[in-house]
Structure 1
Amino acid sequence: MGKVAFVFPGQGAQFVGMGKDFYEEFSICREVFEDANESLGIDIKSVCFEGPEEELIRTENTQPAILATSIAILRALEERGINCDYAAGLSLGEYTALVEAEAFEFCDAVHLVKNRGRYMQEAVPEGKGGMAAILGLEKSKLMKAVEKAKDYGVVEIANYNSPEQIVISGEVEPLEIAVNESKELGAKKAVKLPVSAPFHSSLLKPAGDKLEKDLDKVKINDLKKVVISNVAAKPVKTREEVRSNLIRQVSNSVLWCDSIIYMMDNEVDTFIEIGPGKSLKGFIKRIAKSLNKKVNTFSVNSISEFEKVCDFFNREV
């Protein structure tokens, strides 16, 4: 067995009921949710477990809810002696990776991401921007579609998720034009995403400016694990890099595909997605297939999946 990476999901992975089984099963998970409630001064636990969905999908609730759920599941894995060599997270998930690496205290992180969610939503009025996933179109052709649409306003690459999926983000009209142009250029599918803002585009720069002030007030520690940055697709070396990367991350492309390739090139052959959803596992499998690499992939969002991972590591030991 090679090296192990923990990867953490971002916004969009949430579902009502997430983390409830872990809360009921493990005292260490209960502590995480109770700490989140106390730190935020709201019942984020109930939002995770009971919804309603309208509350859960509010960006300023979604982000701390996913962070808390992911950390709770992480703590259960750590309690079983399962650890990683590398950590990374998609967008919001990078904060979870940094908590795992002890760069942030958990309570500081939930505050940061709650504010981050609010700043991101405030940066662009609802209905003025959006995002779309483009599937099955090579990067060079997608760039042509984006360049053509830029004549009508802001539209940019938001996420390089896998060789088969790239997400674009921007103002409504140019986004629509880029989607239609992508289809004409041969995209297998072009799907508008159910999000309320054009995340990871230059339109979100005001959110990064506000986040910078918050990050100045938070203690950032030396990292205890190797964390791969979204904006650079390489390890974060210093505390100042943590800060500057997170500010840039809000309005820059997420280099997820390159981040996974970096870890594969550095002997990672087991990836464990920790938190709600299972999109990251799918991306990783497609990236590995494109490189003809064999990897072990897990997505831990339920007790049954948790036990599968524990059994796998017991066999490897």
Structure 2
Amino acid sequence: MAYSLIFPGQGSQEAGMGKDFFDAFPSARDVFLRADQALGFSLSSIIFNGPEEELMRTAFTQPAILTVSTAILECLKKEAGIIPAPLFMAGHSLGEYTALVASGVLSLEDGVRLVHLRGRLMQEAVPEGEGAMAAILGLDPDLVSAVCSEAAPGGECRPANFNSPGQVVISGSTPFVRAVMEKAKEAGAKKTVLLNVSAPFHSRQMRPVADSLREAFGSLEWHEPSAPIVSNALARPVRSVHEIQQALFDQTFMPVLWNDSVNRMADDGVDTFFEIGPGSVLSGLVKKCRKGVTTQTCGSVPEFEALSNKLKEMV
């Protein structure tokens, strides 16, 4: 059995996530403490206690999810005594940064500081109300792209996440997002849902954010990954620091090719996907992307114990 570790992105957060790991395991407590110290404020307090609207702020959501996912992975290593040996690592949007920390490309400290900056820049890039995202359900991805080109010919709205064959998320200027939603319904979409997000992620409006992030890359210490990272923007593995940095730059304003990424990993031999972090969104998407693969979530202590036992059997 060949497996991949996958890490969730924004939208998986909820107040209290990771608290059971913090209470149960010293290695998890150490991760939360290190994140607090790196950021200079108590991120762990926001994660555990909310309030929800504070945790929903992008500048806090992104380091929060990265920290919880990293804490769980550290528990696998130090509490369960398992050194994971995945064929690949991958993450959805923000989760790609978690994959970099998991694979040793970035330290936890550099990782949380970088995504805190990323979240703040994304929040500030577009005035509130001027950008939006929406999920288009039950419409062929190529048709979604065609509808975007028709309703927003200047690129004001375009696909942001190709999540599965039947789910594409669009992103861009609010009036154009709404126009694409209407056109998509006319084209046969089963459903369109305006998402509760604070900015139009993975749209051309995020290009200045990418430029600022690239400047920030220069202040960090980078290493080669312990396992290939499947890039959101390329849907293929990247291994060198240069490739990884370019992929992160592109990912900021280009679509997340999750469906293609899952299929690339499966084509290369992955038959099992372990989702490390809060929620189960990615596991659900993986099953829609590729029939016949196995998924398992690891976002709570009971799930952690089950995954630990499975990984020990594989050694």
Match of 2:293 in 1: 295
Is the Cα–Cα contact under 8 Å of residues 152 and 174 in structure 1 kept in the other structure?
Answer: no
User: Percent identical across equivalent pairs?
Assistant: 45
Amino acid corresponding to residue 300 of structure 2 in structure 1: S
Match of 2:22 in 1: 23
Task: Give the structure-1-normalised TM-score.
Answer: 0.96
Match of 1:162 in 2: 164
Match of 2:133 among 126, 131, 134: 131
Match of 2:303 among 302, 305, 309: 305
Is the Cα–Cα contact under 8 Å of residues 66 and 95 in structure 2 kept in the other structure?
Answer: yes
| Alignment RMSD | 1.3
3-state SS of paired residue (2:232): coil
Match of 1:114 among 98, 113, 116: 116
Decide which moves more: 86-95 or 149-158. Answer: 149-158
Match of 2:266 in 1: 264
Task: Give the structure-2-normalised TM-score.
Answer: 0.96
3-state SS of paired residue (2:278): coil
Q: What displacement does 1:315 show?
A: 4.4
3-state SS of paired residue (1:250): helix
Amino acid corresponding to residue 66 of structure 1 in structure 2: I
CA distance, structure 1, for counterparts of residue 225 and residue 260 of structure 2? 21
Q: What displacement does 1:144 show?
A: 2.3
3-state SS of paired residue (1:271): strand
Q: Equivalent residues in 2 for 1:92-111 (5 A)?
A: 92-111=94-113
Match of 1:68 in 2: 67
Match of 2:39 in 1: 40
Is the Cα–Cα contact under 8 Å of residues 144 and 159 in structure 2 kept in the other structure?
Answer: no
Is the Cα–Cα contact under 8 Å of residues 153 and 171 in structure 1 kept in the other structure?
Answer: no
Match of 1:190 in 2: 192
Relative to structure 1, the CA distance from residue 249 to residue 152 in structure 2 (aligned partners, 3 Å threshold; closer, same or farther) is: closer
Instruction: Give the gaps of 5 or more residues in structure 2.
Output: none
Q: What displacement does 1:311 show?
A: 2.9
Decide which moves more: 108-117 or 141-150. Answer: 141-150
Deviations 1:88-115 (A, max 9, x none): 0001100110111111011001000000
Number of paired residues?
A: 312
3-state SS of paired residue (1:187): coil
CA distance, structure 2, for counterparts of residue 297 and residue 246 of structure 1? 26
CA distance, structure 1, for counterparts of residue 212 and residue 46 of structure 2? 26
Amino acid corresponding to residue 270 of structure 1 in structure 2: T
CA distance, structure 2, for counterparts of residue 219 and residue 38 of structure 1? 18
Match of 2:48 in 1: 49
Match of 2:285 in 1: 283
